[in-house]
C-alpha cells in the first residue's frame, strides 16, 4: 500500500521543493516582514499592522493605486475594444494576409519591456518622431516632452500598455471566435443581419469566457507594470506615474523601508487574487 504514494511523491517532490522554497516560503516571509519596521540591516521592530494603517494615509501609495486604475483603462479596456474589433474583422474572413496581421499585431507581446521602453522613450522625446509628426501636420502647439509633463506622463505610459496588450487580447478573442459554428453566421446573414448586429448577437456572447481571461491578464499587467515605469519615468514627475509594483521596489531599495514595501507587496498580491476571483465570478454569473 505504501507504494501508492511513494512513486508519485518521488516525481513530485523535486518540483515542489523548489517551488515551495522560492515562491511559497518567501510569500509567507513577505507577510511576516510587513509586520516589522526594518531598514534592510540591523535590528527590526515589531509594529503589528501599523505599516498597513500608514498606507491608507500615504500619498505615494494612494497615487499608485489611482494611477493603476487609470492604467487599467489603457491596458485592459482599450485593448479589449480594439482586440474584439480586429478579431471580428479577421474572423469574418475574406481578408488576405490574416497570418501577417496576426503576427505583426501580436509581435509587441514578445519584445522585452525594457526594449519597448527604450523605443517609446525615443518616440516621446522632445525631439522625437511624435513631436516631429505633430509639427509636420501643423499641430506644433501640442508638442512637449510627453513623459516629463505631469499632465501627459501617465497617459503616455498607459498608451505603451495599449500597444503591448492589444495583440494578446486580439488573439484570445480570435481563439474564442474560432469555436463559433459557421452556420450561425450564415443564418444571421440570411436574416439580413449586418456586421454590427452580427457582432452583438453572435460574436460577443460567444467569447465571454475569453473576455474574462483577457481582463484578468491585462488588469494584472497594469498593476505590475514595473519595467516600463522604471525605464521611462521612475514613477515621476512627482508621483504621477508610480504603480504598486514600482512602490514595492522604491520603498525597499531607495527609501529602505522594507516593512512598508512588504505591506505594499502583500496588498498587491491580495489585489491580484481578488481580481482573479472577482472577474472570473462576474464572467460566470453573466453566462
Partner 1 sequence: MRVSRGEVVMNYVLLIAFALFALAPVLTILIGSVSAPLGEPAGFYPGNYLEAWTVGGFGSSLGNSVVVAAIVVGLATVLSIGSGYALGTMRFPGATVLFYLFLLGMMIPAEATIIPLFFDLRTLGLTDTYLAIALPQVAQSIAFGTFWLRAQFRSMPTSLLEAAALDGAGPLRALRSILVPASRPAIVTLVVLVFMWTWNEFLIALIMTPSGSRRTAPLGLATFQGQYTSETALLAAAAVIIALPTVILFLFLQRHFIRGMLEGVAK
Query: Smallest gap, in angstroms, from Cβ of residue 73 to partner 1?
Result: 18
Does 81 participate in binding partner 1 (rule CB under 8 A)? no
- Residues 57-76 interacting with partner 1 (rule: CB under 8 A): none
CB of 174 to partner 1, least distance (A): 9
Under DSSP, the state recorded for 252 is: I
Name which position in 36, 52, 199, 249 contacts partner 1 (CB under 8 A). Answer: 249
Q: Determine the 3-state secondary structure of 184 from DSSP.
A: helix
Exactly one of 63, 71, 90, 219 binds partner 1 (CB under 8 A); which one? 90
Q: How far apart, in Å, are the Cα atoms of 186 and each of 189, 190, 202, 267?
A: 5, 6, 11, 49
Q: Give the span between the Cα atoms of 158 and 281, in whole angstroms.
A: 27
On whether the CB atoms of residues 116 and 108 are closer than 8 A, the answer is yes
Rounded-to-integer distance, Cα 24 and Cα 41, Å? 23
Which of 8, 126, 151, 238 is the binder for partner 1 (CB under 8 A)?
Answer: 8
Q: Does 268 bind partner 1 (CB under 8 A)?
A: yes
Site size with partner 1, rule: CB under 8 A: 93
Q: How far apart are CA 268 and CA 283, in angstroms?
A: 22
For position 129 contacting partner 1 by CB under 8 A, the verdict is yes
My answer on whether omega of the bond before 237 falls inside 30° of 0, hence cis, is yes
Rule CB under 8 A: say whether 248 interacts with partner 1.
Answer: yes
Is 229:70 a contact under the CB 8 Å cutoff?
no
Asked whether position 144 contacts partner 1 by CB under 8 A, the answer is: no
Query: Which one of 217, 219, 222, 279 is in contact with partner 1 (CB under 8 A)?
Result: 217
12 is an interface residue for partner 1 by CB under 8 A: yes
Which CB, 154 or 264, lies closer to partner 1? 264
Amino acid at each position: 500500500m505504501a507504494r501508492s504514494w511513494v512513486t508519485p511523491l518521488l516525481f513530485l517532490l523535486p518540483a515542489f521543493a523548489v517551488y515551495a522554497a522560492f515562491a511559497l516560503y518567501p510569500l509567507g516571509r513577505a507577510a511576516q516582514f510587513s509586520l516589522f519596521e526594518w531598514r534592510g540591516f540591523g535590528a527590526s521592530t515589531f509594529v503589528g499592522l501599523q505599516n498597513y494603517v500608514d498606507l491608507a494615509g500615504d500619498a505615494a501609495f494612494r497615487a499608485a493605486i489611482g494611477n493603476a486604475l487609470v492604467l487599467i483603462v489603457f491596458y485592459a479596456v482599450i485593448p479589449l475594444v480594439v482586440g474584439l474589433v480586429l478579431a471580428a474583422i479577421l474572423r469574418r474572413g475574406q481578408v488576405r494576409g490574416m497570418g501577417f496581421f496576426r503576427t505583426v499585431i501580436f509581435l509587441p507581446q514578445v519584445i522585452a519591456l525594457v526594449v519597448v521602453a527604450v523605443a517609446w522613450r525615443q518616440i516621446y522625446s522632445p525631439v522625437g518622431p511624435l513631436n516631429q509628426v505633430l509639427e509636420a501636420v501643423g499641430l506644433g502647439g501640442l508638442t512637449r516632452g510627453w513623459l516629463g509633463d505631469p499632465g501627459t506622463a501617465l497617459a503616455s505610459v498607459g498608451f505603451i500598455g495599449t500597444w503591448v496588450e492589444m495583440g494578446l487580447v486580439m488573439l484570445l478573442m480570435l481563439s474564442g471566435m474560432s469555436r463559433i459554428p459557421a452556420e450561425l453566421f450564415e443564418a444571421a446573414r440570411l436574416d439580413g443581419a449586418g456586421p454590427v448586429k452580427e457582432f452583438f448577437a453572435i460574436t460577443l456572447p460567444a467569447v465571454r469566457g475569453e473576455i474574462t481571461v483577457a481582463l484578468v491578464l491585462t488588469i494584472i499587467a497594469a498593476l505590475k507594470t514595473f519595467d516600463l515605469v522604471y525605464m521611462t519615468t521612475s514613477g515621476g514627475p512627482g508621483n504621477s506615474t508610480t504603480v504598486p509594483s514600482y512602490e514595492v521596489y522604491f520603498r525597499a531599495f531607495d527609501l529602505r523601508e522594507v516593512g512598508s514595501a512588504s505591506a505594499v507587496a502583500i496588498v498587491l498580491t491580495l489585489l491580484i487574487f481578488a481580481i482573479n476571483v472577482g472577474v472570473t465570478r462576474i464572467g460566470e454569473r453573466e453566462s
